[in-house]
Each structure stands twice: as C-alpha cells, then as structure tokens.
Amino acid sequence: MDSVPCLRVPQCQAQKLRRSLQSKGALDLSLSLVKDSDGTVLLPILASCLSQLDLQSFRTTVASDDDFEVVWSKSALQSKKEKGRASSSKLEKVLQELLESHGERWTEELKRDIPRSFQRHGDLVLLGDTCFVLPLWENMDQQLWSTVARGLGAKRLAKIRRISRDGFRSPEVTMLLGAHSWVKHVDNGISYEFDVTKCMFSAGNITEKLRVAGFYCRGETVVDLYAGIGYFTLPYLVHAKASHVHACEWNPNAVEALKKNLEANGVSDRCTIHQGDNRQLQLCGVADRVNLGLIPSSEDGWSVACRLLRRATGGVLHIHQNVTSPVEHSTAGDAPQKVSGKKADREVWQAWAEDTAKHFTSLLKDFNGTQWTTNIQHIEHVKSYAPHVHHVVLDLECRPS
C-alpha cells in the first residue's frame, strides 16, 4: 500500500473529528482509524481533499487548542476489508486442519457456522451464541476451543448467550477456555477491569465515552446515576477532570469492578460510590451535572436528577434514551415501500427532546416550587440497534428562572 495522508489528532477528540471529516467528504472510509504509539489517532484522508483541509476550523469544531497535523503513513494502515479477511482466513485455515485430522470435510455449511464478529478483551475473545451450533463441532471437544483461540490470537474464550432479566442486566456467559473470567479493557487511556460472566461492557458506547472525556468539568460535582463498572464515571474523572463524582450502582458485581477501576486509574479519592437503588439516594442539591446513562430509558431516574441539581444554579443533564423512528410508507411502484432517512430520524429525535425538556420543566417546578427554564444544548446519536431504533443522548441545560 502506498503512503496515505492522515490527520493526527488526540484520542479524546478522534470521533468528533472523524464525523467532521466524513461530513466534508474528506474521510477515506475504506481505511481503518489507527491508534499510534504516542496515544494519538490517525484519521485517513482522501488525497484529493488534502488541499482543502482547514486545521483551524477543526480546532473550532472541538473547542480545543490541541495541535492537529497531517502526516503520511502506510505501515499502520490497513483496509477494513483486508483486516476482516485476515482474521477470518486464519480461523478458517486452522479449523480446516482440525477437521481433516478428524477425517471430516470442510463444507460451506461449516464455514457459515464460524464467527464473523466477536468482542475482544485483552487475551479473551467473547463469541456470540450463533456460531459453532452444528452437531459436528461437539465431536471436537476441548480441542475445538484451543484451535479457535489459536486462530483468533487469544488465550481465553467465552460465549455469551443472552442478557438475563435479573434486574442487573447480567450476561449469561460460559467460559470455554481459560482459568478465570476477569478481563482488562483499555479505552482512551482508561483501564476497565471486570468479570465477563457477571458484567456487561458495551463497546458501542465508545463515541459517547470519548465525548464525555472532552467535557470541561473542572470544579464540578457530577452524579452518575447508572455507573456500572465506571463507563462514564471514569471519563468524567480521568479526562474531564470533575472535582468529584457520586457513582450510583445497584449491581454488587459491577460495584466490585468499579472500586477496582477507580483504584487502577488513580481517581478513587474523587469518587463516592452509592450502592443500591438510586431512587433511595439521600443526596440533594449537590450536582452541576447528572449523567442518566440507562437504556432503553432512564425515565425512572428523572425525578431523582431534578432533586440532585443545585437549587441556586441548576446544571446540565445528559439523558440517554432509545428513540424509535416511525416507518412511513410510500405507495410508489407496485407495492408499498418503507421510507426512512437521517432527516426523518433527526426530526423524531428533536420531537422527543422537546417533549423531554417540557417534562423536566414541569418536574423541576413541582420539586422546587419555582419556575425553571430548560434549554436543549445538543442531541448526540450514539448507535443504532435496528433500522429505526437509535440510542441518543440529550444534553439538557436546566436553570432556575
């Protein structure tokens, strides 16, 4: 591969700048983003757009004085297709060899039964429940999992079947290979340790964690109503530099991991953990910022958030929600067709945000006995679960009138 131009940026700003480059048509979508050895990220740029780049406008986009520079690289860059093919072909190769050693033939049906995607946490790979379901694999016994681990470059393997309905959203995970199930995952310089058989880790929330890391929270007290293992608590402390975070969590396994992660990242002295149902939280009027990071809805915590905001100055709420866009139908052609688009989705998100803002205006007036104003600062799209189900975050400013 020839050298390609890349924009070198701080990791905490990478996702916001990636979206900015993509909106300008300057991002090379055929290549993967790359973390460099110095902790920065290389964003591949289309050579035809290089002369049109305005680095100062990018600094304005992220409200940062950080230095961005254009570099030429080839050694670390790899096309997304090549990256996926390399991992898949190695696994196929070792599995074919295993089958041949057992006198079996490699078939298209077996090929379709191997994993195309998985989660990697250090030396542990977490497989989904739709792979290796054919009866033939059972004859391979433990030799199968040793082979799969070798093909995927892992030392431990586990398989997730579903999320339990125990109120804690605990994963139902079976260890296939390896002595223990604790893993370490590093995102944006933050270390997260957890037991994969007891706690969830959502890799899809990385853009929101990076966004939180870019907040300026010096001098602020933050309340994280659904802290988990520290998904957002840690970015608030490590990168956003919040003075103190009150972390609320009712899953004892997540609390165990949270304590470990606060210590590992050297921020335990600036965090108070409140274990139990956050609706029973005794805090009141302490927060400059409240994080409501629960989906599909954090509505059970809305009244709690109103109680937590400082009465004299108010603050900002970050409200997570799964918003469903309605499916419209077009009668063009011989049969009705489903119609959707980004514009239609954003209109639905805006409508939900406006309804939510009105709801909070009413809640705040009821709680405080005085008039409050709410202002929609931003609506962030985190990820999509289905064609019409979107995880969004509303940044809602709430101030006493």
Mean pLDDT of 354-373: 96
Map tokens 């994993």 to a residue: 115
Token pair recorded at residue 379: 């609506």
Q: Looking at 51-55, 228-232, 366-370, which range is the least confident one?
A: 51-55
CATH class of 80-180: alpha beta
Return the percent helix, strand and coil in the chain, to nearest 5: 35, 30, 35
Question: What percent of the chain has pLDDT above 70?
Answer: 85
pLDDT number for residue 73: 75
134-143, 170-179, 360-369: which is most confident? 360-369
pLDDT number for residue 338: 45
Q: In what order do the strands lie in the sheet with 4-10?
A: 34-35, 40-44, 4-10, 69-73
Question: What percent of the chain has pLDDT above 90?
Answer: 55
- Specify the CATH architecture of the domain 202-326+340-400: 3-Layer(aba) Sandwich (3.40)
pLDDT in tens, 234-270: 999 999 999 999 999 999 999 999 999 999 999 999 9
pLDDT number for residue 95: 93
Q: Cα torsion at 39, 221, 391, 393 (round to 10°)?
A: -100
For residues 307 and 284, is the Cβ–Cβ distance under 8 A? yes
Mean pLDDT of 30-59: 75
Query: In CATH terms, is domain 4-73 a member of 3.30.70.2580?
Result: yes
Distance CA 171, CA 161 (A): 8
Mean pLDDT of 28-48: 79
Distance CA 382, CA 349 (A): 12
pLDDT number for residue 336: 43
pLDDT band at 169 (very low <50, low <70, confident <90, very high): low
Distance CA 233, CA 244 (A): 10
- pLDDT over threshold 80, residue 173: yes
29-43, 184-198, 317-331: which is most confident? 184-198
Mean pLDDT of 381-398: 89
For residues 230 and 262, is the Cβ–Cβ distance under 8 A? yes
Mean pLDDT of 42-49: 81
36-40, 110-114, 359-363: which is most confident? 359-363
pLDDT in tens, 272-312: 999 999 999 999 999 999 999 999 999 999 999 999 999 99
Is the dihedral angle over the CA atoms 175, 180, 181, 185 positive or is it negative?
A: negative
pLDDT in tens, 53-62: 776 676 676 6
Mean pLDDT of 131-150: 92
pLDDT in tens, 74-109: 655 555 455 555 556 889 999 999 999 989 999 999
Burial of residue 101 (CB within 10 Å: 0-12, 13-18, 19+) is exposed
pLDDT number for residue 4: 78
Q: What are the boundaries of each domain within the chain? A: 4-73, 80-180, 202-326+340-400
- pLDDT over threshold 60, residue 155: yes
pLDDT number for residue 7: 84
| Encoded amino acid at 242, one letter | A
Distance CA 390, CA 348 (A): 10
